[in-house]
Structure 1
Amino acid sequence: MAPARRWLQHNLSALIMAPTAAVTLVFVYGFIAWTVYMSFTGSRMMPVYELIGFDAYTRLWQMERWGVSIRNLLIFGGLFMVLNLALGLLLAVLLDQRIRFEGTLRAIFLYPMALSFIVTGTVWKWMLNPGLGLERSVHLLGFTSFKFDWIIDPDYAIYTIVIAGVWQTSGLIMAMFLAALRGVDQDVVKAAYMDGASMPQIYWGIIIPSIRPAFFSAIVVLAHLAVKSFDLVIAMTNGGPGYATDLPSIFMYAMSFQRNNIAVGSATAVMMLCTVMAIVVPYLYSELRPGRRHD
């Protein structure tokens, strides 16, 4: 009985984690493998398991709508990441000054992240609607020449998605940067201050370079959110006007469930997975490689 008890004590954690690992293996990695396989078939409404090569990928890159979604991803992803990093860092630096009501302000900035993207998209859709939102409110104040109809303009609608996305996630990035700032060695900061360095010089030359890991983490989080953005776009514009605000996730949904083209939809999902991996794998390598020097 004693050996069995010792074995149980030694392997208890593995036994507890085994069901979760099995479920993850089947419903995450198993379905990833199934999706990759489907992308090399000619599946339409129903799966077809005969492999035909890269035909789905060829058709995918020949579609004008896919080109639009890629362009929108570059615009949305680029602005979404840059604005979030800049605004999040600025807010974190301001809160790091130990100002009054810091806890209240931190909660206010973090509150949008507690909302779902569906709620955020719906609210911003109302706010940016020319007939009943911001433009209408300004007109009622007497400024009838004011115009802000980006959400119905095919050339500018994607930027309204950026506005809503940054509003929701900048508080999260602020919290990540603030936690990193609070972990900086204050002795180094005090020494620089005693040497005559100004506060902007201390932040720019000492503090911000020392929180480089927080930047890497924030970039990975933001890139992941940008690539898989779906519900925010659906709630705000539903991909419109036309398909002017299509992103790869919207395109994949349309191909798989509206156009009944499983093969092309699967190929889209594989391309999205490759995009995420291109961002995450270098980050993981830089963080986990043997011999990495920890600052």
Structure 2
Amino acid sequence: MSTVATTDPVLTPRQATRVSLRGRLQDALPKIVLAPSFVITLIFVYGFIVWTAYLSFTNSKTFPSYALTGARAYQRLWRWTFENDPPSSWYTSITNMAIFGFLYVGICLALGLLLAILLDQKIRGEGLLRPIFLYPMALSFIVTGVAWKWFLDPGLGLEQTLHHFGWTSFHFDWIKNKDFVIYTVVIAGVWQASGFVMAMFLAGLRGIDGEIMKAAQIDGASPFQLYRRIVIPLLRPIFLSAFIVLAHMAIKSYDLVVALTSGGPGGSAWLPSNFMYEYTFKRNEMAVGSASAIIMLMTISAIIVPYLYSELKEKAR
């Protein structure tokens, strides 16, 4: 009985060096490919965040001033807030942010969940309804704002159309009314985002184990009890994810307000993002605009950081 011994080929020093270099290049290739994107992000995102924070502690006007003057820009913002100074529009901006954020997030979550539950009933035409509800999310905020501006304009939209049909007593001038114009922004925002939230909830509903549902039905649970006690609690991660996305979109909304209302009568539809742009680029108050931008960043961080912490904590378990 004979045995055949197998041995690895012996590499010459030059061949061994080539293999070593090739292995190092293969290991370094992902880093080399990602390095430009990393550097660009580091400079043009985080670098400019630091620069904006620095400018918020200066007295910058039309051009940057690098001499630190303390928190005067923040003091001016909050003084305007507590004094409710109309020319500043900061009080209006944060008030509108509270109204828009609460209604936008709340209605989108409720409407998205309702639509998802209805579509989950295996209704006829579901394949057609899903893209119809999702289509608004494919549009930019500019297109959405312009479309709803035409629709809500009393001179050529809904009001004018109903007047042509004989309902001359109908009036809907919210888009020109400073007390109600922010609610038109809510309407347009909800129309665009509710279909996206519906898709998130529908994916969550389709991922629930059907055996749990059947067991609850056998135990005599009504449809209302089934959704209230079992389905909706199981959708908690979807609720949290949708809330984070919607809150982020609400805080940074700018183009929707501009396209829909042009800021509203006297800036009555301003959000903090509109205030930041106006004061930085039009009123030559770069320090004040930078301070408002940092406050927006802190608001977004206050929402996202706890979410990321909870996600990382769950993965670590």
Q: Same fold (TM over 0.5)?
A: yes
AA aligned to 1:53 is: G
Q: How many residues align?
A: 293
Instruction: Indicate how the Cα distance of structure 1 residues 212 and 292 shifts in structure 2: closer, same or farther if over 3 A, else same.
Output: farther
Question: What are the within-5 Å matches in structure 2 for residues 153-168 of structure 1?
Answer: 153-168=177-192
Q: Distance in 2 between matches of 1:284 and 1:53?
A: 32
For the pair 1:173 / 2:197, whether they are aligned, the reply is: yes
1:11: how far off? 2.7
Larger Rg: 2
For the pair 1:268 / 2:268, whether they are aligned, the reply is: no
Can you give the 5+ residue segments of structure 2 that lack an aligned partner in the other structure? 1-17
For the pair 1:52 / 2:69, whether they are aligned, the reply is: yes
For the pair 1:196 / 2:213, whether they are aligned, the reply is: no
Q: Secondary structure at the match of 2:167?
A: coil
Question: What are the within-5 Å matches in structure 2 for residues 1-80 of structure 1?
Answer: 1-63=18-80, 64=85, 65-80=89-104
Report the RMSD for the aligned CA atoms in angstroms: 1.1
Q: Distance in 1 between matches of 2:218 and 2:27?
A: 54
2:229 equivalent among 195, 205, 212: 205
Q: Distance in 1 between matches of 2:235 and 2:38?
A: 33
Can you give the 5+ residue segments of structure 1 that lack an aligned partner in the other structure? none
AA aligned to 2:52 is: T
TM-superposition CA deviations, 1:249-277 (whole Å, max 9, x none): 00000000110111001001000000000
TM-superposition CA deviations, 1:24-65 (whole Å, max 9, x none): 111110110100001001110000111111011111222331
Q: Distance in 2 between matches of 1:166 and 1:272?
A: 21
Question: What are the within-5 Å matches in structure 2 for residues 267-286 of structure 1?
Answer: 267-286=291-310
Q: Secondary structure at the match of 1:282?
A: helix
Larger CA deviation: 251-260 vs 16-25: 16-25
Question: What are the within-5 Å matches in structure 2 for residues 78-93 of structure 1?
Answer: 78-93=102-117
Question: What are the within-5 Å matches in structure 2 for residues 208-227 of structure 1?
Answer: 208-227=232-251
For the pair 1:228 / 2:252, whether they are aligned, the reply is: yes
Q: Distance in 2 between matches of 1:41 and 1:210?
A: 49
AA aligned to 2:262 is: N
Q: Distance in 2 between matches of 1:170 and 1:291?
A: 29
Instruction: Indicate how the Cα distance of structure 1 residues 275 and 115 shifts in structure 2: closer, same or farther if over 3 A, else same.
Output: same
Structure 1 runs of 4+ aligned residues shifted over 3 Å read 290-293
Using structure 1 for the length normalisation, give the TM-score. 0.97
TM-superposition CA deviations, 1:176-225 (whole Å, max 9, x none): 11111111111111111121112221111111101101101000000001
Which residue does the alignment assign to 1:138? 162
Q: Distance in 1 between matches of 2:91 and 2:297?
A: 17
1:169: how far off? 0.5
Q: Secondary structure at the match of 2:198?
A: helix
Q: Secondary structure at the match of 2:267?
A: coil
Q: Distance in 2 between matches of 1:246 and 1:290?
A: 38
TM-superposition CA deviations, 1:210-248 (whole Å, max 9, x none): 110110100000000100000000011111111111100
Q: Distance in 1 between matches of 2:157 and 2:33?
A: 52
TM-superposition CA deviations, 1:59-88 (whole Å, max 9, x none): 122233101100000000000000000000
AA aligned to 1:118 is: I
